[in-house]
Homo-oligomer: A and B are copies of this chain.
Amino acid sequence: MSTEAGRRRPGPRRALTEDEILDAALSLLDDGGADAASVRGIAARVGVAPNAVYTYFPDKAAVVKALVERLLGEVDHDVFADRSRPWRERVEALALDLRAHLSAHPGAVGLMIGGPMDGPHALTLNERLLELLADAGLDRTGAARAAYLLIVYVFGSIALEVAAQHAPGPLPPESDRIDARTRAFAATPADRFPRSAAAAATMAGYVSTEQYVWGLRRILDGITAGVTDVPGDPDDGRGVLRAAGPVPEARTSRSGRTVDVLDDAAG
């Protein structure tokens, strides 16, 4: 009661908001890479003394954490709530949206995967994925494992894509980066690395959207390998799927054995 929400605290009005500080941090990050978001830089950007920042956040780690949370929150709730669309489409839309949002701030990506990522927005992302994968016909445990597999893939892809870029600042267009990689891989010594030299064009495309979607689809294929497809639209795998626990009738799958092993640990 005494500390109700609308009451102003004593002392002078705050010159800033937390959001303005996060804005400044993000723009510094975008301009100068992961190391550019210094407390002093943020303070200068918003026009206060460096230690004034500590009125809003206890330390720099809290600034980073809040920024990561905000970036994760920008993607939630929108794209994949529409349950009329097939679940695979929604997963792909979510994955592409995450990639677009995060790789727009390459300097922030390193901070993201450098911390625990256990805030409410991260949990919301997990929750949405669980809903999505339940629609796909996966059981509770399978959906959770699949959700983390997807999270690992999405954040791993983005992290490696950003890390492949040497210079700070915004990511160049995808085609430019692939061209640069093509030129770099052209120097691969074919005597020591014959297969890599032969696959140089594909390797240059490791950072492409096509590779990203290709890998995502292989994962979705693997996730649904133990789940039987309802016939009706075999062309694109968009058919509604129904759950199959041990699936004793459909192609004795390795997933049956795997699930048992995992249940030992998680249960």
Question: Is A230 among interface residues, defined by CB-CB distance under 8 A?
Answer: no
Contacts of A164 in B (CB 8 A): 116-118
Contact bitstring A192-208, B, C-beta under 8 A = 1, else 0: 01111011011111101
Contact of A127 among B110, B124, B196 (CB under 8 A): B196
Chain A interface, number of residues (Cβ within 8 angstroms): 80
Contact bitstring A93-136, B, C-beta under 8 A = 1, else 0: 00000000000000000100111111000011011001100100
Contacts of A219 in B (CB 8 A): 149, 218-219, 222
CB-based contact B258/A213 at 8 Å: yes
Question: Is A51 among interface residues, defined by CB-CB distance under 8 A?
Answer: no
Question: In the docked arrangement, what's the CA distance between A222 and B226, Å?
Answer: 11
Contact of A210 among B151, B206, B255, B265 (CB under 8 A): B265
CB-based contact B149/A113 at 8 Å: no
CB-based contact B160/A113 at 8 Å: yes
Question: In the docked arrangement, what's the CA distance between A61 and B165, Å?
Answer: 15
Question: Is A47 among interface residues, defined by CB-CB distance under 8 A?
Answer: no
Query: Which of A149, A157, A164 has the most B CB atoms < 10 Å from its CB?
Result: A149
CB-based contact B123/A193 at 8 Å: yes
Question: In the docked arrangement, what's the CA distance between A90 and B156, Å?
Answer: 22
Interface contacts beyond A123-B188, A126-B196, A221-B255: sample of 18 additional A-B pairs, CB < 8 Å, sorted by A? A117-B164, A123-B193, A123-B196, A127-B195, A140-B198, A141-B202, A143-B199, A145-B211, A148-B211, A152-B215, A155-B159, A159-B159, A201-B267, A202-B266, A210-B262, A214-B262, A217-B222, A220-B222
